[in-house]
Amino acid sequence: MKLAAIRPVSRALARELAVTALLLLGVSVVVFAILYLAPGDPLNVLLEGQSPRSQLALGMREALGVPQTWYGQYAAWFGKMLQGNFGNSIRTGLPVLPELARVGVYTLTLTLGSLALTLLIAVPIAVHAAAHGGTAGNTAATLAAYVLSAVPVFWFGYIVVYVFIHQFGMFPLISGTAAKQEHAWLYFLVPIFVLGIASGTLSEMIRHLREELSRVLAEDYIRTARAKGAPVWRHAFKEGFLIPVTEIMSAKIPFLLGGAVIVEQVFNWPGMGRMAWQAAQDRDFPVIMGIALVAAAFVRLGNLLQRVVFTAVNPRASRE
């Protein structure tokens, strides 16, 4: 990359990081407010249903050092968070951050793996359709992808589980971690496969990539490239491939995270989605806050990547 192009990119990066910081702050306030206003008190879990308004509960609050006002509670949480301390889980008593890191890796594997799989399927279909128009082969493939994308992911997941039990007589008790089981690799790959195929991302990815690439291939400058005997792909790559791919990736990460929550439930995948589910049941506030922030950061990361790539390849964006 030319030196001249580095400055706009670093400027875009700085701007995106600032936006991310503000956004995370907003997310933490909103989630905190929702938790505060929602019915259910975490103390109930600790007290296992014993009367929460009793002396016992108050004593417990004091013992735990929980401030009385909501802003007091938020300020306390925020102060600790800035020091990298997200508090301890109310349920397990374990510190939230290392726990998040532990399960976050699983969710990251699941979402990024399925994203890679979606790309692996969508790119060849989209490129073929854009380059050759609708042939019987790529039309059939596109249709199949559209049908699969329309299937709800939980339903597809249960079908897969069903097939495993009845056809192969095996059941993925705990996928992901089950390194010692037989066919561990299968339990590992099947959830990735399910999320990649049925998260609803596939069809939109094919459509976006095909439309963008077709549009670019019809541009005047591609005709010039052909007229001068240069490889078309070299000229179509940036606008027709790189930009749309990063666009659709960053746009689809939130949906993949949503899908991951379901897939993790169906397949017992020990990731953040399952932890979030459990934490919501338990009103485990510190865990919920932590997960909300990590998920939001992940989504922003996709945006950031897209902006950086766009600024790096687009000379116009660089000069703005």
Residues engaged in binding another protein (CB under 8 A) = 2, 4, 132, 219-221, 223-230, 234-235, 238-239, 313-316, 319
Q: What is the closest distance, in whole angstroms, from the C-beta atom of residue 36 to another protein in the complex?
A: 50
Nearer to another protein, 103 or 245 (CB): 245
CA angle 180-183-188, nearest 5°? 85
Query: CB of 250: closest distance to another protein in angstroms?
Result: 20
Min. distance of Cβ 227 from another protein in angstroms? 4
Nearer to another protein, 265 or 314 (CB): 314
| Closest C-alpha among 23, 22, 9, 17 to residue 254 | 23
DSSP state of 238: I
The residue among 41 and 211 lying less far from another protein, judged by its C-beta, is 211
For another protein, the closer CB: 106 or 310: 310
Shortest separation between residue 291's beta carbon and another protein, angstroms? 40
Bridge partners of 88, per DSSP, are 95
Q: What is the DSSP string of 82-106?
A: HTT---B-TTT--BHHHHHHHHHHH
Minimum distance from CB of 246 to another protein (Å)?
14
Select from 268, 248, 275, 263 the least CA-distant residue to 111. Answer: 263
Q: Which is nearer to another protein, 182 or 220 (CB)?
A: 220
